[in-house]
Structure 1
């Protein structure tokens, strides 16, 4: 593949450096291919530059400002993207015609409404496009003219073209249609979380009834109210100019989501009982504009939060009839999937658990990670697919609806004895047949499946020890484009399936990390590409294998291009506990093999389910540069994708089920052994650090294996999982009321007595993700156990992700000092 920039060539060379020692088994016949080195540019590095913490932790604008939120224009002739404004958190929009030779030009404020959107909606003939700009609805017509459908300070959303060419949109939970020829707007249906109004009834009770008999005025007022109600109903029924009656879903209900058929004959809505605001958890903010302490509300803790089951209701838009859809047709809806867990916890308390049928709480798949609607109508309008999940996190279902019987028809069940992934839930319909496509991890890796409604089983279209994501179907149903790490776990390229023969074709061969957006004309791909040494920029290629790749933007600063960066080598560290190796980045000093054994640091990435030993640009760019500083000063640095990390399949992800901190620390121990045996590292001079989940891992390593590291820094760390949030934690540890064993096994606060080596704890105080309370409780525990080898640094104005350069600098000066003094 040619990688060409109109003003600058970017060469791609082959040969990712691997350790010669690791040999690892594969679960099938596939063998990992050698991965190309990250794209090397003509950037001229200056080897005389010395990395400094002051530069690394400065406002990151000095690195360059990569394109964000890029999308295609409607005519596929140009792309739009956002770029951070220098010295500000504001973003500006740019347009980059494909024929240009630079980064494009800023879009004038007066023209922003004309751009379109990454979420533009098309009419059936693809001649019209609709989008939302600043809460208002716009339509681009076939002649290119733009129609502004709404113009108000209210927020409008979810534009959708109906099969009769009307445009649908909603304001709140009221749906409107617009006849684009006449311009007439009509209310189609309004959803109300109230009881349906009824004609006033005669009050019950002796006094009330006597009042109505004895006092004519009281009876007259009552009759007037009844007549008013009846007249209103009669007018609405008889006069076509009146808006239809609202759909009343009941008092104290909360609408989760609602979707209307393209035929505008049915509406599907999910509701749950409204939950009061969390009054228990607050976050004191000590540094405020007023000088007062602000008590900010924050999220529920997993120990307090109880998900409300959802009701799925089919509503006829013809007569307003409501049909609750039962979940009893879903396979496993009443299985006691946690029976073994409950039995183990009961036994620990000297009790015996007897399993039985359990009506499980079920609702839409609407996780925080996932932006798709869980309700997907076929474009014909006569069928809909719904993705549902059990709130115990063990099942995901795809179901359709039998409209005659008003019942759910199960089409696919994904069951996981650990937890169903919150990623890899993309699904949808083929355009020209009643065929579903979806992602599933049931084989152990995320792959593409299709299912005809009349078939009993789904068909698997991709296979292998790699993960598929972002499936994109062409309008003619000929191709499914997707992103996958086929050749190497850390290299993501663009592929497509020829659906006529299920043949997989590789389109890009760029190395590193490549994301894509298919153009509206489906002839071109907009690529967002990066490497370990090169931040993201935009590229263009034809939507066919091995086409020429043209660079559209170059936003990296000249200052960054001069840095003498150390390219981390990806090594496959043999695991003492699994057949799979632990893929890890290693930063070597130039002369690491010379002289006495070196100092080393192992970095623990956050999020748990995140991949950081891939070949793309890391969100941990400050850490990347800090590791370059350490390598420049003679350290060897390792960055491990320990078990639980993303990119390596289901078993790697779920290894931490009910035992967070155990497999990961075992992997760190394997990393230490590899460094000693392969990288000339002194076992007695190795430290570790990380933030968030990485801070939790630092705790667990120092508390449970005190001889593994000589020092550690835990940043914004979790100390007790019972205090963390419900969506993340309940996946992995169930809930504390059901599985206290898992929480006690996985929470650092239960193992603090093991601390014997220097520990630095850095904690932001306005962290609404990992509460400052986590650090407060653990520090008190250490004090009560008379531990002395720890220090705590607090950051009064910082949230979970630091924002102030001064805070970043202070934090990393302390980390650097810890390693310098103890390694």
Structure 2
């Protein structure tokens, strides 16, 4: 998925938002007299000082009894009482993290307990690879013996994972899978033929990692007797070449990247018997041009769950397989006329007789209960609203917990329902906003991270049974006061109907004390990609939102509109862009520009557009196909031709280019470069492994051929998020000055 602010953790902000250096202040024009009494927001506040960074409960890990949580604090593992937030004991002190014969403790940057919490895996010197992948040096700490030992001496490891019984650890190194026996520290290779850019065992290839969120591709069985893993034969996948700048001669970095219509990895699934050292290949069918995005063990010993998706991604099959023989059978199938999305919603009940998953088969994503043969037992939720997250099942109480957009497409709240589809209850207080939930393993408590568009995060501990507050752990009172001191103006929500009768949702951030009769320039911001949402009743932390407040202080109105194809409103609204990405989105954004330009406070001759990634693509397309509507545009890290983007994402929404050439070419900004009229700033990182710099090169070439003037800004070796050091501060200074000069 092309998203600028995902990092190696799903739904997180990109690393490097809070920069360490503080260059000279940016000189911006004087503010309107009406706002002089308020403090002025600076780019340094946002990108260097972290002035508006919200406080939260960081490093939180539930412990198995649900009464305590642990956190890594100054290199030590500290236990806290959930109900008070107070530290109760230090589980591992710094001085205990020293290897025998050494005086210096290891500098740990992460940790994981085994099931009984008597052993801990510590990671050190972690190196990111792509968005979700990394490698590190791991150490095992035995709490009873107070002993620390290296996991392996053969080089850095990836995805080190305890077996459920805590006796072994599996990991990936240099494309092979290994197991370490913690009693003897003997290391056993599960595979030996892995090789870079050829064959991977136990870890996802680039496109699986990016689009299916598969970094670790192995799973221990619940009884610790078997290890299931996915292998990726990427020998046929074409290589993409990036240059790394900085030395006398640039270095080449080549990696396997399947663009739309090109060969994917051939994927296999295997089960390794730990005691016997025997590997069995699972039968996933004769077709090799397909996807295996998920594997999981069921509660039934030796029964492996495998999800299989055809290349067109309009059919998902759930297979159950005997790990001893490799034989499988299809137990459940989900299909769609457009595409079926892969999720992490599948849950097997411990009774071994049923599973719950989600589907959009009735037009909205809902929870369904099936027996192990795939027969529908009950649709647990229903209505013209979306289940956006399946939190889990408390089998003792017979309750399923989920987050939904039932109250409004822009909101998210926690609900529960029983396994007969009855007793649906919203948990927590009534009202708007968004709730992000971290449920305890025993379903007694949950942490609730509540925020709203104009309200930073409040973290509270609540009881799962009724949602009542036990204790507020963080209320961000200091940040709320800063927002007042700096004169933040509220986001205002609106909706309007387009010429086609489609209702679109939007929001605005306006200058304080707007003058009656005065016309203000408008900057529209968008992402707009399939299933995404930007118009949300949710605090947007320290990135765009605060920059938009800065722009409002400079006299700009900032507006956001979610076009057709975005999420929260059901499958029909989301999937209507299938086969023609960019077409309806551009029409809708054009309608938004007209609607905003007609407001009494708007200067319709001064409307701009800004987006990143998919939003950068739509910004470039809007500046060309809707050239008469926009004076200025900023396109950051855009796809400019879907033929350049990866197979899984692109084909999900457009099919193969061989089968739908018009869907790829008709809405490519490259094809419409000659229509550009306004001022355009094109930005890209040369080290973007996701949306390749090739996209901006192609668009640049087309603009030059069309004899169009534009400005360009590229960042050497920066990836899709364009961050690190002063990078973000520099980028947003350039974008701010560009808008001040051209909008």
Pair in the same fold by TM > 0.5: yes
User: Counting strand residues as a fraction of each chain, which structure ranks higher?
Assistant: 2
Query: Is 2:300 aligned against 1:300?
Result: no
Q: Deviations over 1:410-453 (max 9, x none)?
A: 2221222322224x332121012411111222222222111112
| 1:266 Cα deviation from its structure 2 partner | 5.9
| 1:82 Cα deviation from its structure 2 partner | 6.3
- Output aligned runs, 1:572-587, within 5 Å: 572-577=495-500, 579=502, 581-587=503-509
CA RMSD of aligned residues (A): 4.0
What's 1:169 paired with? 169
Separation in 1, partners of 2:88, 2:51: 19
> 8 Å contact 2:238–2:258 — kept in the other structure?
no
Query: Is 2:361 aligned against 1:361?
Result: no
- Normalised to the residue count of structure 1, the TM-score between the two structures is 0.71
Query: Is 2:142 aligned against 1:157?
Result: no
Identify which of 389, 405, 430 aligns with 2:349: 430
Assess, with a 3 A threshold, how the Cα gap between structure 1 residues 749 and 104 changes in structure 2: closer, same or farther.
farther
Task: Report the secondary structure of 1:792's partner residue.
Answer: strand
Assess, with a 3 A threshold, how the Cα gap between structure 1 residues 399 and 634 changes in structure 2: closer, same or farther.
same
- Output aligned runs, 1:733-752, within 5 Å: 733-752=654-673
Query: Is 2:326 aligned against 1:398?
Result: no
> 8 Å contact 2:520–2:603 — kept in the other structure?
yes
Indicate the structure (1 or 2) with the bigger Cα radius of gyration: 1
What's 1:97 paired with? 81
Separation in 2, partners of 1:726, 1:92: 43
Assess, with a 3 A threshold, how the Cα gap between structure 1 residues 781 and 451 changes in structure 2: closer, same or farther.
same
What's 1:498 paired with? 418
Assess, with a 3 A threshold, how the Cα gap between structure 1 residues 762 and 269 changes in structure 2: closer, same or farther.
closer
Identify which of 40, 59, 65 aligns with 1:50: 40
Q: Deviations over 1:245-276 (max 9, x none)?
A: xxx9xxx7643444454456666444343437
What's 1:795 paired with? 715
What's 2:6 paired with? none
| 1:713 Cα deviation from its structure 2 partner | 1.4
Task: Report the secondary structure of 1:306's partner residue.
Answer: coil
Task: Report the secondary structure of 2:708's partner residue.
Answer: coil
- Normalised to the residue count of structure 2, the TM-score between the two structures is 0.78
> 8 Å contact 1:376–1:428 — kept in the other structure?
no
What's 2:402 paired with? 482
Task: Report the secondary structure of 1:652's partner residue.
Answer: helix
Query: Is 2:236 aligned against 1:271?
Result: no
What's 2:8 paired with? none
| 1:308 Cα deviation from its structure 2 partner | 2.6
Query: Is 2:631 aligned against 1:716?
Result: no
Separation in 1, partners of 2:444, 2:109: 19
Separation in 1, partners of 2:439, 2:534: 26
**Which segments of 5 or more consecutive residues in structure 2 lack a partner in the other structure?**
1-34, 98-105, 124-137, 203-216
Query: Is 2:268 aligned against 1:284?
Result: no
| 1:489 Cα deviation from its structure 2 partner | 1.5
What's 2:364 paired with? 445
What's 2:102 paired with? none
Count of residues paired in the alignment: 660
> 8 Å contact 1:612–1:618 — kept in the other structure?
no
> 8 Å contact 1:266–1:316 — kept in the other structure?
yes
Q: Deviations over 1:649-692 (max 9, x none)?
A: 33333233222211111221221233244553232221111122
What's 2:510 paired with? 588
Task: Report the secondary structure of 2:376's partner residue.
Answer: coil
> 8 Å contact 2:300–2:352 — kept in the other structure?
no
Assess, with a 3 A threshold, how the Cα gap between structure 1 residues 797 and 494 changes in structure 2: closer, same or farther.
same
- Output aligned runs, 1:378-777, within 5 Å: 378-401=298-321, 407-422=327-342, 424-454=343-373, 456-457=375-376, 459-464=378-383, 465-474=385-394, 476=396, 478-499=398-419, 502-509=422-429, 511-536=432-457, 538-548=459-469, 550-553=471-474, 559=482, 562-577=485-500, 579=502, 581-592=503-514, 594-605=516-527, 609-618=531-540, 621-678=542-599, 680-777=601-698
- Output aligned runs, 1:173-188, within 5 Å: 173-175=177-179
What's 1:228 paired with? none
Task: Report the secondary structure of 1:815's partner residue.
Answer: helix
Assess, with a 3 A threshold, how the Cα gap between structure 1 residues 414 and 639 changes in structure 2: closer, same or farther.
same
Assess, with a 3 A threshold, how the Cα gap between structure 1 residues 552 and 79 changes in structure 2: closer, same or farther.
farther
What's 1:38 paired with? none
What's 1:255 paired with? 201
Separation in 2, partners of 1:756, 1:437: 53
Separation in 1, partners of 2:521, 2:600: 10
> 8 Å contact 1:592–1:679 — kept in the other structure?
no
Assess, with a 3 A threshold, how the Cα gap between structure 1 residues 109 and 678 changes in structure 2: closer, same or farther.
farther
> 8 Å contact 1:573–1:670 — kept in the other structure?
no
Separation in 1, partners of 2:118, 2:89: 24
| 1:47 Cα deviation from its structure 2 partner | 5.5
**Which segments of 5 or more consecutive residues in structure 1 lack a partner in the other structure?**
1-44, 86-90, 195-247, 334-358, 366-373
| 1:403 Cα deviation from its structure 2 partner | 7.5
Identify which of 53, 61, 69 aligns with 1:63: 53
Q: Deviations over 1:745-796 (max 9, x none)?
A: 23210111111222122233333332223222212211111123x2222333
What's 1:212 paired with? none
